[in-house]
Amino acid sequence: MAARMFDLQGKTALITGAGRGIGRSIALGLAEAGADVALVSRTKSDLDQVTKTISGFGRKTLGIPTDVKNADEIRNAYKQFDEAFGQLDILIASAGISQRVPFLDVSEDNYDEVFDTNVRGLVFCCQEAGRRMISSGGGSIVLISSVVAEMALMNRNLYGATKGAVSALARSLSLEWSSHNVRVNLIAPGFIETSMTKPILDDDDVRQAAIDQTPLRRLGQPDDLVGAAIFLSSDASSFVTGDTIVVDGGLKVS
């Protein structure tokens, strides 16, 4: 019975940021757990590689090139999802970007790029998912936040502000939609090696400092988040909402 609680067969998921990094690993993990998966990302070539792998698992999949900064493109992605899959059971909102800029050097373009991707895009993805899940009787929404929602890292000001907003939104939606059996939870990664963090972690001093601050003495990998994502997507977490699973290797930053 315990294993069946984590089984996602018969479930359908939409995952943003699914072309690479954390979103890609979660997409593959949910498909291996039995879910049919729609993949949203800006880059078609990335989507094509992931959909090919998921098809090899025998799962139904569809790649939908989408820029989540554009609300019309988000609505179109959900329309394509509806036509291909029907009911939406799971949303994993993983699309996000980070910039390392001292606050006094932050420009309007910096602000627009980070907030439009990390907050605006997530807001309208959640809104479209919520409409469908409320109509169908429930579902699970998992938002990828970050440990920087609760602590500071040097020159990650806009990124931290957006992740704080994501965390606040999840708490609000978990309450607002609880009567509809729509659960909303967060995963907060620590230092994870992805294409987004590569420019920072390629600096040997920064890389070693990140490892030194992580009690498990290694950097996280995207696959390290898959277990938490499957748990929050599945019936195993049916009484969990408004919560955060921190996946950071015990990170402490002074």
Beta bridge partners of 183: 140
Going from the C-alpha of 117 to that of each of 17, 41, 180, 249, the distances in angstroms are 10, 12, 27, 27
Q: Which CATH class is domain 2-193+222-246?
A: alpha beta
- Give the separation between CA 74 and CA 121, rounded to whole angstroms: 8
Query: pLDDT at residue 152 above 70?
Result: yes
What pLDDT does 27 receive? 98
What pLDDT does 254 receive? 47
Q: Three-state DSSP class for 185?
A: strand
Class of residue 94 by CB neighbours under 10 A (exposed 0-12, middle 13-18, buried 19+): buried
Tokens of 137: 């009787």
* H or E stretch at 247: strand 244-247
Q: Which of 159, 177, 191, 231 is catalytic?
A: 159
Query: pLDDT at residue 139 above 50?
Result: yes
- Relative orientation angle of helices 71-85 and 121-136, to the nearest 10 degrees: 30
Percent share of the chain, pLDDT over 70: 98
Output the CA torsion 63→69→73→78 (10° steps).
Answer: 60
- Reported as a single tens digit per residue, the pLDDT across 183-218 is 999 999 988 887 777 777 777 777 888 888 888 999
Q: What average pLDDT does range 108-115 have in this prediction? A: 95
- Reported as a single tens digit per residue, the pLDDT across 217-233 is 999 899 999 999 999 99
74, 93 contact by CB (below 8 A): no
Query: pLDDT at residue 47 above 70?
Result: yes
**Does residue 159 have an active-site annotation?**
yes
Q: What is the CA radius of gyration of the chain?
A: 17
